[in-house]
């Protein structure tokens, strides 16, 4: 059974128990994915994005992040990896990724136990579409945080 069903097997409203659910909940569109491999891939990509060591890796190149830097590193890891654990390890070295939050560590650890082949195939075949979805989510979350911070200052 995939993570989405273990988190909420009845699909009834429940507390958001993993970080990716919290980020995803802020964006009603695009529609939620239904394929377990796609759900896993999207969650892993969200965790990669939110666990990047931005100071060490991206620096002055933020303008190239979504269209060049992130896709190139994801693609390289995807084609070199034979498992999700290897994929994550390659990315952790290339980016670097630093998972400092316990809930995120638990979610990553769980996702890395999902069947690797379908997720890696999806990452190979649909990476631009998955990155687009993650970018929409990440930009919406960032906009919401900025709006909340501005409202708190007034």
Q: From residue 76, how far is each of 4, 42, 50 by CA, in Å? A: 27, 17, 19
- Range 27-54 average pLDDT: 93
* Whether residue 9 has pLDDT greater than 60: no
* Whether residue 152 has pLDDT greater than 90: no
Place of tokens 């075949």: 125
70 or 9: which leads in pLDDT: 70
* CA dist., res. 90 & res. 69, Å (int): 15
129 or 61: which leads in pLDDT: 129
Q: From residue 39, how far is each of 20, 64, 80, 148 by CA, in Å? A: 10, 26, 21, 28
Q: Report the pLDDT value the prediction gives residue 8, as an integer from 0 to 100.
A: 43
The per-residue pLDDT for range 106-146, each reduced to its tens digit, is 999 999 999 999 999 999 999 999 999 999 999 999 999 99
DSSP assigned state of 52: B
Check: CB of residue 39 under 8 Å from CB of residue 146. no
Q: Where are the alpha helices (DSSP H) in the chain?
A: 3-7, 19-25, 36-50, 54-57, 70-80, 84-94, 102-111, 116-153
Q: Report the pLDDT value the prediction gives residue 127, as an integer from 0 to 100.
A: 98
- Range 87-108 average pLDDT: 93
Check: CB of residue 75 under 8 Å from CB of residue 127. yes
- Range 68-72 average pLDDT: 94
* Whether residue 46 has pLDDT greater than 50: yes
* CA dist., res. 43 & res. 51, Å (int): 12
Q: Report the pLDDT value the prediction gives residue 85, as an integer from 0 to 100.
A: 98
């Amino acid at each position: 059974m995939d993570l989405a069903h273990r988190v909420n097997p009845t699909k009834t409203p429940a507390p958001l128990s993993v970080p990716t659910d919290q980020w995803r909940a802020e964006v009603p569109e695009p529609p939620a994915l239904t394929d377990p491999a796609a759900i896993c891939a999207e969650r892993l990509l969200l965790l990669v994005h939110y666990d990047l060591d931005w100071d060490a890796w991206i620096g002055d190149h933020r303008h190239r992040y979504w269209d060049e830097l992130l896709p190139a590193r994801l693609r390289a890891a995807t084609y070199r990896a034979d498992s999700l654990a290897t994929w994550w390890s390659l990315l952790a070295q290339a980016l670097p990724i630093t998972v400092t939050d316990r809930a995120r560590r638990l979610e990553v650890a769980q996702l890395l136990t999902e069947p690797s082949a379908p997720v890696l195939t999806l990452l190979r075949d649909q990476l631009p579409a998955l990155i687009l979805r993650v970018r929409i989510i990440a930009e919406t979350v960032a906009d919401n945080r900025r709006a909340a911070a501005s409202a708190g200052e007034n």
